[in-house]
């Protein structure tokens, strides 16, 4: 799937209300782009220093099990599975409070170089999180659904591998470095209280309310 590149005012709304989530493979490129991979090896403490500055832990979306299995191309979806939901914890960009000449104090994504809506610049646009670069407000619901599943599935796999016994894993199914970093960062940020208070559904409502201003 190709990334989106629309920079219209409506597509910039999440930059102010609910920046998109990260998948495990985002971490290394984002750390490199922000100058945190200068050391030969990124230690756990080094990674957490970066995470504290740029990320928050979110309890993530609550997804329907049937929706999840359907997109996994499961051969058999158990009867009644639609009654169950999965909570997928995610990492999201931190929020910075800045002062704008026109609107005063406002919250923006920590990676937004300018608080002014007329010239907003993402400092890591080329390596922005999956939840930012793969979505815009103009795509169809079907396209958005497929992209959402791919991202959420990648995050869910990190959690599954991190808490699976070795004898439960198939060959080649080991936890990757990026997946281990993802889970460790989320747990560390959560323990320290560095969390996004709003649920994913609440964040969506915030985004839609802001979008309605422009439409």
- What is the rounded CA–CA span in Å between residue 167 and residue 27? 28
* pLDDT at residue 92, as a whole number: 95
The pair of three-digit structure tokens given for residue 116, joined into one six-digit string: 């002014």
The pair of three-digit structure tokens given for residue 137, joined into one six-digit string: 């407000």
Cα distance between the two ends of the chain: 28
Residues of the chain short of pLDDT 50, as ranges, are: 40
Closest by CA position to 51, among listed 169, 208, 186, 213: 186
Residue 176's CB is within 10 A of a number of other CB atoms, namely 13
Longest CA–CA span in the chain (Å) reads 59
* pLDDT at residue 203, as a whole number: 57
* pLDDT at residue 41, as a whole number: 56
Alpha-carbon dihedral angle through residues 178, 133, 94, 89, given to the nearest 10 degrees: -50
The pair of three-digit structure tokens given for residue 101, joined into one six-digit string: 């000449």
* pLDDT at residue 109, as a whole number: 87
* pLDDT at residue 170, as a whole number: 66
Closest by CA position to 182, among listed 208, 161, 210, 211: 161
For the whole prediction, is pTM greater than 0.75? yes
């Amino acid at each position: 799937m190709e990334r989106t590149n629309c920079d219209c005012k409506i597509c910039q709304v999440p930059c102010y209300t609910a920046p998109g989530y990260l998948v495990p493979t985002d971490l290394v490129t984002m750390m490199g782009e922000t100058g945190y991979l200068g050391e030969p090896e990124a230690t756990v403490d080094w990674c957490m220093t970066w995470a504290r500055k740029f990320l928050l832990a979110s309890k993530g979306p609550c997804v329907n099990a049937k929706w999840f299995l359907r997109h996994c191309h499961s051969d058999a979806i158990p009867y009644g599975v639609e009654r169950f939901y999965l909570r997928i914890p995610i990492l999201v960009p931190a929020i910075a409070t800045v002062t704008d000449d026109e609107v005063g104090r406002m919250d923006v994504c920590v990676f937004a170089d300018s608080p002014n809506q007329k010239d907003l610049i993402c400092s890591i646009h080329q390596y922005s999180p999956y939840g930012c670069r793969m979505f815009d407000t103009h795509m169809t619901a079907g396209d958005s659904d497929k992209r959402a599943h791919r991202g959420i599935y990648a995050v869910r796999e990190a959690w599954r591998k991190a808490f699976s016994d070795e004898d439960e894993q198939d060959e080649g199914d080991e936890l990757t470095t990026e997946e281990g970093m993802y889970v460790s960062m989320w747990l560390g940020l959560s323990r320290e209280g560095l969390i996004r208070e709003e649920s994913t559904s609440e964040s969506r409502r915030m985004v839609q309310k802001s979008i309605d201003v422009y439409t």
